[in-house]
Structure formats: structure tokens, C-alpha cells
Chain A
Amino acid sequence: MLPDLRILITDDDPVILYIHRRAIEKCGLPDITCFLNGRDTLDHITLQGPDINYLIVLDINMPGISGWDLLDEITEKNHNNIHVIVVSSSVNTGDHEKAKTYSQIIGFIEKPLSDVKMITLMESHSYKTAWPDNINGDGVS
């Protein structure tokens, strides 16, 4: 249904970017782009134009544009084909409540993201219909 799914990872911590990229690669998702801040992420989306399906693995606490700011902006711009997995060092109830108000958010994960967590999340969510064909539970131990 959504064959051209692109993965964006946004986190101000380069080590986390490395870890998350490797974890997602292990799931067999090839098209991964990393960003160290929210602004670059938004610019990239704008530059690439509409009609592209994105899954953003998004850090919440970042200097400058926070994860929430980025979510607000894509809501405002009506990007319907963007889904978001929120990641945070420490998840508090306030953040959880806030996450429920964004329809784009399909998951809330405490760092670090692992391939197992990623697959579990995708499978439990209706979003898995958008999962490319070459990804399935068999590829993951």
C-alpha cells in the first residue's frame, strides 16, 4: 500500500542516532535518513515535496525545535502521510498524555530503540499494513 516508506531519525545525540539507525537497519528498512535537529528534518520534508510516506523516529527533548514543536508544525501543514514514533530518555505520564493528542504518533518508546521493540510496535499497530513486504516477524529473532 505504501511501498515508498522512508524512515527519518531525529535526535540531538549522535550516538543515539547511530544506535537507532543500526536497530532500524536490522529490521530491513533501507531508506533511513538521520537529523541532529528538528529544523533540518522539517526542511528535508518540505524539500522532498508531498506524497511521500514517512515514519519519523523522533526525540522529544531537543534544544531549539523540540519533538513537540516538530509535531505541531507537521500537524499545521496537514502532512497526512507522516507517522511518528516518539522516543525519550525518560518517559513521564505528562508526556504520555500529551502524545495521545497527536494522531500521527503510533508509539511511545523509552530509549534505546531496539530492532525487537521496533518490530513489536509495528506489528501491534494498524500501521503494519504499510509495512513493506520484505519485512516480517521471520527476519527477527
Chain B
Amino acid sequence: MDDKLKILMLEDSLDDVNLIERELIRSGLLFSLFVVSTKEEFKEAVYNFKPDVILSDHSLPSFNSIEALKIFQIAQAKLNLATPFILVTGAVSEEFAVECIKAGADDYILKDSLKRLPNSISNAVDKARIEAERRKVLDEVIANEAMLRQAEHLAHLGSWQTDLITGTNKWSDEIFRLHGYEPGELKPGIETFFKHVHPDDTNLLTTEFDRALQTLDSYECKYRILDKRGDIKYIHSKLLIDRDSYGKPNKLNGFLLDITSQTHHIQRIEAQNNKLREIAWIQSHGVRAPLARIMGLVNLINAENPETDTRQIVNFILTSVEELDELVRAVVRKTEDLKD
């Protein structure tokens, strides 16, 4: 709420508390102080007071600073905080001080040189703020990456990179999965891509890829692969080519989209269209032929011609009508086929 620095002090000597407080006031620091002297109080305060900085005496009646540091570190991990922990003690050995710093304390101040304390606090707080920001950015990056990975998985979209100068290759998890493998199961690289291209598409893709490398900045194509199990998959591939100032390619960024299910849908629709076209053909050509005969024959009967062999004509009409009937039945059958 306010911009006062919240200081948690672990100290059992009231004299020392006063001494330290006076030193801090003198430095002009705006702060609110919360003093505890037992393990339970300390634990409670770490979680509920949410201090910006902790000042800890080393030896207390019920426990000591090393133990306090441990409690504090567990809380830090749980709350994902980076609160500075400063040891404020009477005379200790050099070795002990080093040990404390190693254990995770940010600084140690001797009680007979408290003048250093305000400076130490502000340094530690600055450091903690930077650390907190770094963690926040890192968390965001990690979250974004996780989201991207999830998105790639859902969309069946994989991305890859090849650095042509260093020869390093990077594949996203989905690139492995598109090829039927677990992430990391294959050695990423352009040769590995080509090893999985369907034999019927290999020649064309190789030629196209070489041409793209020589002349293009981006290239898009569709081809088939055989995955780990030998199943055919349809891939939509997009390639972006980075070039140096001489136009020589130095980096490739690629995206592969698994379009197998879309392709199968399209193939099903095309097959259906073929059936429909067949039906349309029967309607327009097949039906038309016997109909034309019937019209021609009826025309012959109608004409006033006594020599007309009516019986012959009627027989012809009959066969034509039967043929017409069979065609209409065929259309009905084909239309029923379509429902599958």
C-alpha cells in the first residue's frame, strides 16, 4: 500500500532493536518495522507480514540465524520471492560469516559497525528487485514457450531451424511427432527430413529445395512423408531463407503443418464428386440416348405413313423404355452409395 520498506527483524535484545532502529531512522529510510524473537513468530511473520527485507541476529534463545535462513528459504521458494536476508550480529568469526553467505544470506553486518546497514539494505533491496523482475520475465518466457508448444501440438504445426554456418539444427517437439517419433528420438537435420519424404516425392522436393536455396527468400510446398510406422502423411511446408549480404543462405527457418486429415477429407469429397459426376453423366448422356430413340420412334408412328411397321416400332420403344428404367434405377443406386 505505502512505499515504506517492510523490515522484519529477528532480535531478542530490545537494546539492539533500538540501536538498529535509530540507525535506520538517521539514514532517512522510510520503513515499518516488525520485530520477532521466536521461531514461531518468525515463521508466522515470513508468511503474513511479507517483509521486503529480513534482518536477523545470529544467536537467539530458542534458535539461530542458520535455522531462520532455512525457514525463510522454504517460504521464499513457496512464495516465489527473492527477499534479501541480512545478518546483523555481534562478533562472529570470518569462517562463520562466509558460511552464512554461502547458505544464502545476502550480507552480514556487525553490530559495532551499524552505519553500514542502511546502505546494505538498499543494495540488497535493489538486487532483489532486479532478481524479481528477472524471474518474472523468465516465468513469462517459460509460460509462453509452454503455450507455444501446446499450440503447436494442437495445430499439428512444427517448427525447425538450421544454421548453415554452424551446422546446428533445432526441431520443435511437434516436428518429431509429425514424423511419428518422440521428441529427441531422431537427430534433427535436413537429411533426416529427406529420409522420411515419400519416395514418389523425393526427386521433386530435392530439386525444388535446391532451387529455393539458390534463388528464393521463401518457399512453400506440399508433399508426403512416411512416418515411423510407414504411414503416409501429408505435409504443408513453409521455408524462410536468411541470406548474408552476399546473398549466400546462412539460416533456414521452417514450418511443417500436418494436413493429413484435411487431405483425407478433400479426397473423400473428391471421390463423392466423382460419383456425382457419374450420376450427372448418366442423367445427361445415358438417359438422353434411349429417350432420343423413343422420341424418334414416336415421331415415326405419328407421321401419316401407312407403310410404317408399327409392331417393330413398338418393340423398339419397349426396349428403349426398359433401358431408360434400368438407367434411372442405376442413378438411384448410386445416389444411395453417396450416403456412406
Contacts and interface: CB of A to CB of B under 8 A. Distances in A.
Interface of A: 13, 15-16, 18-20, 22-23, 26, 61, 89-90, 110-115
Contacts of B303: 26, 115
A19 B284 contact: no
Given A13-B289, A15-B316, A15-B320, A114 B296 contact: yes
Contact of B292 (A16, A18, A23, A115): A16
Interface in B299-323: 299-300, 303, 305, 308, 312, 316, 319-320
Contacts of A110: 292
Contact of B285 (A20, A89, A114): A89
Nearest to B305: A26
B299 A114 contact: yes
Interface residues of B, number: 18
A61 B308 CA distance: 29
18 contacts: A15-B293, A16-B292, A16-B293, A19-B293, A19-B297, A19-B299, A22-B308, A26-B303, A26-B305, A61-B285, A89-B285, A89-B288, A89-B289, A89-B292, A90-B285, A111-B289, A111-B292, A111-B296
Interface centre among B288, B293, B295 (most CB of A within 10 A): B293
Contact of A19 (B288, B300, B305): B300
Shortest 5 CB-CB distances between A and B: which pairs?
A112-B296, A19-B296, A111-B292, A89-B289, A89-B288
Contact of B293 (A61, A90, A112, A114): A112
A26 to B, nearest CB: 7
Contacts of A89: 285, 288-289, 292
A90 B284 contact: yes
Contacts, number: 50
B94 to A, nearest CB: 101
A16 B288 CA distance: 12
A107 B78 CA distance: 93
Contacts of B308: 22
A58 to B, nearest CB: 15
Contacts of A18: 312, 316
A22 B313 CA distance: 11
A89 B296 CA distance: 12
A110 B296 CA distance: 11
Contact of B319 (A15, A16, A19): A15
Given A90-B285, A110-B292, A112-B292, A23 B299 contact: yes
Task: Specify which of A15, A16, A61 lies most central, judged by the most chain B CB atoms within 10 Å of its CB.
Answer: A15
Contacts of B292: 16, 89, 110-112
Given A26-B305, A115-B303, A15 B288 contact: no
Contacts of B293: 13, 15-16, 19, 111-112
A112 B316 contact: no
A26 B320 CA distance: 23
A105 B293 CA distance: 23
**B284, B289, B320 — most chain A CB neighbours (10 Å):** B289
Given A16-B293, A19-B296, A61-B285, 5 more contacts: A15-B319, A18-B316, A23-B296, A89-B288, A112-B295
A22 B320 CA distance: 18
Nearest to B304: A141
